[in-house]
Amino acid sequence: MSSAMLFVKIRKQFPANGLAPFVLDVDAAFPSGFTVLFGPSGAGKSTLLDCIAGLQRPDSGQIRLADETLFDASRGISTPPQHRELAYVFQSLALFPHLSVEQNIRYGITRLAVGEQKKRVETIAAAFRISNLLQRRPAELSGGEKQRVALARALVTRPRVLLLDEPLTGLDASLRRSILDDLRAWNAKNVIPILYVTHNREEVDAIGEHVLTLADGHVQETGIPHSVLEAPRRVQLAHAAGFENVLRAVVVDERPVDGVMRVALENTACQLEIPLGDVQSGSEVQIAIRAGDILLATEAPHFLSARNLIPGTIDSIETRGVLVIVRVKAGPTFTVHVTPGAARSLDLAPGLLVWLVIKTHSCHLVR
Amino acid sequence: MNAEALLLSLRLATTVALLLVALALPLAYTISFFDWRGKFLVESAVALPLVLPPTVLGFYALIAMGPRGPLGKLWQLLFGHPLAFTFAGLVLASLVYSLPFAVQPLVASFEALDRRLLDASAVLGVGRASTFLRVIVPLAWPGVLTALVLSFAHTLGEFGVVLMVGGNLPGITRTVSIDVYDRVQSLDYDGAQRTALLLLLVSFVVLSIVYGVNRRAWSPWPAK
């Protein structure tokens, strides 16, 4: 399946409710993979998704999916939601309460042959681990199960874009992580843009790819999430926030003059320089590092500002959509995220000797 | 007691209730899910039978169905006999008379539906008509049942309209309520008593079923 870019350039004004009128004015492009739409309640996030899905009509602008125009105000084009071939998981999930899980999942594919329906339902139910729930009604499901069913119902139609409106709100961090992992694995095979709306910073971090910040109907900034991050304080939060590497370490010495200290990782010779923290030499700490903050080099680099150069060998490589996950043994095992292009140009393969390059300030002290 | 009159009333009420729900479903759908200019006029027209005296409604129905009225002429043309003072005429007039009792519970139950379910159906590629049958009607079934039973009960109890357009032809237009009226006029209080009691019981049982099956369904009384 080829991946297509979603282009959105729309404006929609809402009548004033006593105050200034609310204007949604967005110009953005969404590549395949996750884009997090982050912003406070009332920023226009759901309205933007509704416009993309065709449930609300912008006053002006265009919405395009690759070469296909879904909406163009000036040409009077507006494909009805039934024909946009997108999927949309609402915050309320909107599972049909009178239908079983299986009937819910089948709902959007009843035009297909019965055999094909069955096959697709089985495949998607297995991918989202709900095969044992097919005969239940939505009222008999837990929160996490409902969310999995809603995702399965949306994705079984093989959509071209996935719109998610705070679909994992209210779940605990580990459950959310597990659902996200399943969704990422699905996205690896079905490379489509996924727009993930949230007002929760933890979720922004947990997804950790592109972020588009929306406030008061306008795009404020785009970028990658760690630029808006604070250092995590607790291990659980670090995991929840998507720090793929959380390593045990012992403080070796402190250099207050430089504002740094050295730690030894997991009783190995491997040492890291990290920002000075309020801890004593010899005390046990944990260090959180984002997989996306680690650089890989296939030769020992020179003349770098980064203070941490750690040799290691590649243990495994896993490609998930636009993300390549590399595990490197260097004393402890590090998880590193690189792009498919980088993996290709460096000829990354298991067994290859590499150097991990980690900036001091990419290492976060976790208490 | 007049079994013929009771059977006629039941036949009339059943016919009207079924036809009315079939008519009221699309009407309630357009009222609930679409906003259009002039919608309030249609809503007012639908509610008119609630406030008009049945004799007024019946009077206009009689004029329309008479040999020189538009409906009467059309009927004569199509079927070769007049419409007034026939069972079909009675059904037509009753449809108008009981219309609000079918439309209002449907509108109330449609409007209580979570709109996101309809959005979900649309995004999943399912068209409006199909969504209506697969999502709206199954979820609004208490409203459908209420509409069915209320229009049945209301038609069962009508008097003024029947008197105006139906007259008093045994087996054709003499319903239970006309029968009771007739007996009182001829001082047959015992006969009137038996028929009246039967109608009272049937109506009560029917309404008890509606309220019993769905306590939260539309009710003629203000919401608690």
- What pLDDT score does A54 carry? 94
Kindly state whether residues A86 and A122 are assigned to the same domain.
yes
Residue type, B168: N
- In sequence order, what DSSP letters do the residues of B151-181 get, joined into one string? HHHHHHT--HHHHHHH---TTTT--HHHHHH
How many other C-beta atoms lie within 10 A of the C-beta of residue A300?
10
Distance (Å, whole) CA A238 – CA A247: 11
B171 contacts B90 by C-beta, under 8 angstroms: no
Tokens representing A258 are 């430089």
pTM (predicted TM-score) = 0.68
Q: Over 80: is that where the pLDDT of A220 sits?
A: no
Kindly state whether residues A214 and A254 are assigned to the same domain.
no
Cβ of residue B129 closer than 8 Å to a chain A Cβ:
no
What range defines the domain where residue A240 resides?
A: 235-366
- Whether A143 is covered by a domain: the verdict is yes
More confident residue, B136 or A280: B136
- pLDDT tens-digit readout, A36-64: 888 777 788 889 999 999 999 999 999 99
Kindly state whether residues A14 and A58 are assigned to the same domain.
yes
Q: Identify the helix (H) or strand (E) that includes residue B23.
A: helix B3-33
Distance (Å, whole) CA B43 – CA B37: 12
First-residue to last-residue Cα distance in chain A: 45
- Residues of chain A with C-beta less than 8 angstroms from the C-beta of B124: 87, 107-108, 153-154, 157
A287–chain B nearest CA distance, Å:
43
**Closest residue on chain A to B119 (Cα):** A55
A306 three-state secondary structure: coil
Kindly state whether residues A260 and A156 are assigned to the same domain.
no
Q: Which CATH superfamily does the domain covering B3-33+49-113+141-213 fall into?
A: MetI-like (1.10.3720.10)
- What pLDDT score does A18 carry? 62
List, in order, residues 6 or more apart from B210 with CB less than 8 Å away. Answer: B145, B146, B149, B150, B217
The beta-carbon neighbor of A94 closest among B120, B126, B134 is: B120
More confident residue, A167 or A65: A65
Kindly state whether residues A209 and A289 are assigned to the same domain.
no
Partners of A62 in the β-ladder: A9, A72
Cβ of residue A97 closer than 8 Å to a chain B Cβ:
yes
- Which CATH number goes with the domain that contains A62? 3.40.50.300
- Whether A1 is covered by a domain: the verdict is no
Distance (Å, whole) CA A233 – CA A229: 12
Q: Which of B213, B209, B207, B179 is nearest to B101 (CA)?
A: B207
Place of tokens 């769905």: B214
- pLDDT tens-digit readout, A129-156: 899 999 999 999 998 899 999 999 999 9
Tokens representing A4 are 């297509």
Partners of A297 in the β-ladder: A355
Residue type, A44: G
Q: Which of B72, B73, B97, B100 is nearest to B85 (CA)?
A: B72
- Whether A133 is covered by a domain: the verdict is yes
Kindly state whether residues A212 and A308 are assigned to the same domain.
no
- In sequence order, what DSSP letters do the residues of A189-255 get, joined into one string? HS--EEEEEES-HHHHHHH-SEEEEEETTEEEEEE-GGGGPPPP-SHHHHHHTT-SEEEEEEEEEEE
Q: What's the average model confidence in pLDDT over A229-241?
A: 47
Place of tokens 């260090």: A287
The count of C-alpha atoms lying within 13 angstroms of the C-alpha of B185, restricted to the half-sphere facing its C-beta, is 6
- What pLDDT score does B20 carry? 95
- Report how many Cβ contacts below 8 Å link chain A to chain B: 56
Q: What's chain A's length in residues?
A: 367
Cβ of residue A331 closer than 8 Å to a chain B Cβ:
no
Of A171-175, A225-229, A283-287, A350-354, the range with the lowest mean pLDDT is A225-229
A347–chain B nearest CA distance, Å:
42
Cβ of residue B35 closer than 8 Å to a chain A Cβ:
no
Q: CA distances (Å), A58 to each of A71, A283, B104, B149, B178, in order? A: 9, 58, 33, 43, 59
A210 contacts A34 by C-beta, under 8 angstroms: yes
Q: Residue B24: pLDDT band by 50, 70, 90 thresholds? A: very high
How many other C-beta atoms lie within 10 A of the C-beta of residue B27?
17
Q: Over 50: is that where the pLDDT of B221 sits?
A: no
For chain B, give every domain's residue range.
3-33+49-113+141-213
A115 contacts B155 by C-beta, under 8 angstroms: no
- What pLDDT score does A102 carry? 95
A153–chain B nearest CA distance, Å:
8
Q: Do A81 and B122 touch (CB under 8 A)?
A: yes
Kindly state whether residues A55 and A184 are assigned to the same domain.
yes
Q: What's the average model confidence in pLDDT over A90-114?
A: 93
Q: What's the average model confidence in pLDDT over B75-80?
A: 88
Greatest Cα pair distance in chain B? 67
Kindly state whether residues A103 and A181 are assigned to the same domain.
yes
Q: Do A107 and B134 touch (CB under 8 A)?
A: yes
- Residues of chain A with C-beta less than 8 angstroms from the C-beta of B133: none
B138–chain A nearest CA distance, Å:
7
**Closest residue on chain B to A55 (Cα):** B119
Kindly state whether residues A260 and A144 are assigned to the same domain.
no
Residue type, B73: K
Distance (Å, whole) CA A40 – CA A188: 30
Q: Do A94 and B114 touch (CB under 8 A)?
A: yes
More confident residue, B189 or A303: B189
**Closest residue on chain A to B135 (Cα):** A96
- pLDDT tens-digit readout, B95-135: 999 999 999 999 999 998 999 999 999 999 999 999 999 99
Distance (Å, whole) CA A12 – CA A64: 17
- Name the H helices within chain A: 45-53, 101-106, 114-127, 143-155, 173-189, 201-207, 235-240, 340-345
Kindly state whether residues A186 and A62 are assigned to the same domain.
yes
Kindly state whether residues A168 and A302 are assigned to the same domain.
no
Burial of A274 (0-12, 13-18, 19+ CB in 10 A): buried
A354 three-state secondary structure: strand
Of A2-11, A102-111, B185-194, the range with the lowest mean pLDDT is A2-11
Burial of A54 (0-12, 13-18, 19+ CB in 10 A): buried
A199, A228, A257 - which closes a domain = A228
A228, A263, A295 - which closes a domain = A228
Tally of domains in chain A: 2
Tokens representing B124 are 């999943």
Kindly state whether residues A182 and A313 are assigned to the same domain.
no
A176, A195, A228 - which closes a domain = A228
